[in-house]
Amino acid sequence: MSRPPTSDVPPTGPHSRPGPATAGPPATPSLPRYTLPLAFGLQAAISAGDGLILIALASRVYQGSHASWAVAAVFLAVTIPITALAPLAGLLLDRLSPRPVLVAAAAGQAVVALALTQVAGIGPVLALATGFGICAAVLQPGLGAIVPRLVGPAGDTGQPDQAGRAAEAHRARVTRANGYLQAATWGGFTLGPLLAAAFIAAGGTGLALAGVAAVYALGTLGLCVLPLAPPDPPTGQAGGSGDGGFASQLSAGLRFLRQDADAGLLVLVVGVMVVFANMAVVAEVAFAESVLGAGPTGYSMLVAAWSVGMLAGTLAGGRLPERRLALATLVGTLATGAGVALAGTAAVLWQAAAAYAFGGLANGLEVVATRSFLNHRAPPQVAGRVFAVYSGVLFGAASLGMAAAGALLGSLNPRLVLFLAGGGGLVAAGAGALFYARRHVRAARSRQAPSAPAPGTSPVTAPTASAPPPDRAQLSPASGGGPPIVRPDRADRG
């Protein structure tokens, strides 16, 4: 079930007659100019649908049961499948052409939303919400994995230096695209609850769910015509992603994150931060209304401040150079925790809102840096599975953080819970930065240290300026004189 190496770019003109053969590689098709604007619009629409359905589902089950546990159960019904089905969803994205997979997932969400308008009772709603989560388990990582194919190919050239510059420019376009896509994500997710409030006021939760179905139907149509560049050729760094048994292929994304020390560390650090950040998501309601005495308006101000900061952070993150992405992830994680902790010290609403705006700015920077780093490092044959693991970690961490906050708020002051949430993010980022720095310092020293001569042999002459030192893979005794060993966690790629 290998992914077909064909382009998903729609034909732009009539077929030309075959001409004489020419030397050199075939010309790579370019993407239409509307590709990225269409992708941004689709991302905003799908994110608006996500925000809209969460509010509509929560209102529907609460109106029928007046039980807080029912609201929590709905959120878990949506998020648990995203974590539990991450390996299988990633395998589908890597082994099949991404367009039909994403179209089927978006269409499935539209059908589920339409079916929700016809059912009542907690049981049927939870069952359909689980179906929605199953579709989201494919759609969420898929939208992240296809970003390199939205900016077009790097270009073919016969000169190594020109090829290197083209590849660097391509990676910069991927980072910028991630910045705009995440800005569209947060813009849409902010719009979704506002649409939910308007629909529910006009016609109840049934009208809101019908609006969700319409949004995802539009998303389905847009995905059908979204141009995609051909996939990059396999890089040979996936560790046997297409070989082995079914279980081995399912775990290829996790295996890659274990082999690539930098990517695995960043996903782990971000996952721990998300646990603590979502403790704040629960605590900020009681903090704004009870501790600051600002009521529902104050809570809305905190959410809006974080969203505005996220929007600015994602746009700024799109300008990050590739060599700074890992550092930006760690610094952004650290600053996110600092923003939450500072909000816990606020005596009045504007102080908490300013701290939340700072935390949102850092969070937006971190999101773009992490996603771009994974886009650059993950080989195309496992990109879907890597992003599925990443999405699974985020949604699983969010569920764990919300559950922990719900338990803590029964005995602790909301201000203290915010301190714990911010402090946890600071500790996670600090520990991650320490591990990252120590590993890269050791790697740099190992490359610079001359090899000790064996007894009875002449010492190794240090390389001169005209003869650069050999690559670490070429110095490895495991190479045995054969081709150099490719290490995905080389320090010069950070």
CB 355 within 8 A of CB 339: yes
Res 59: pLDDT: 85
pLDDT at residue 165 is higher than 70: yes
Res 226: pLDDT: 94
Res 161: pLDDT: 62
Domains of the chain by residue range: 33-153+165-230, 251-447
Max distance between CA atoms of the chain, in angstroms, equals 89
| Tokens of residue 51, six digits | 């925000």
Res 160: pLDDT: 58
Decide if 33-153+165-230 and 251-447 have a common fold. yes
DSSP state of 382: T
CB 474 within 8 A of CB 484: yes
Q: Which amino acid is at 117?
A: T
CB 359 within 8 A of CB 340: yes
Half-sphere exposure of 343 (CA within 13 A, CB side): 39
| CB burial readout 390-421, b (16+ within 10 A) else e | bbbbbbbbbbbbbbbbeebbeeebbbebbbbb
How does pLDDT run across 18-43, given as a tens digit for each residue? 444 444 445 456 789 899 999 999 99
How does pLDDT run across 182-212, given as a tens digit for each residue? 999 989 988 888 888 889 889 888 999 999 9
Rounded to two decimals, the pTM is 0.77
CATH code for residues 33-153+165-230: 1.20.1250.20
Q: Which amino acid is at 452?
A: A
Compute the average pLDDT of residues 312-327: 94
Q: Which CATH class is domain 251-447?
A: mainly alpha
For the chain, give the mean pLDDT. 82
H/E stretch holding 416: helix 414-448
H/E stretch holding 234: none
CA distances from 139 to 12, 89, 219, 416 (A): 27, 9, 11, 37
How does pLDDT run across 414-469, given as a tens digit for each residue? 999 999 999 999 999 999 999 999 999 988 888 876 555 555 554 444 444 334 43
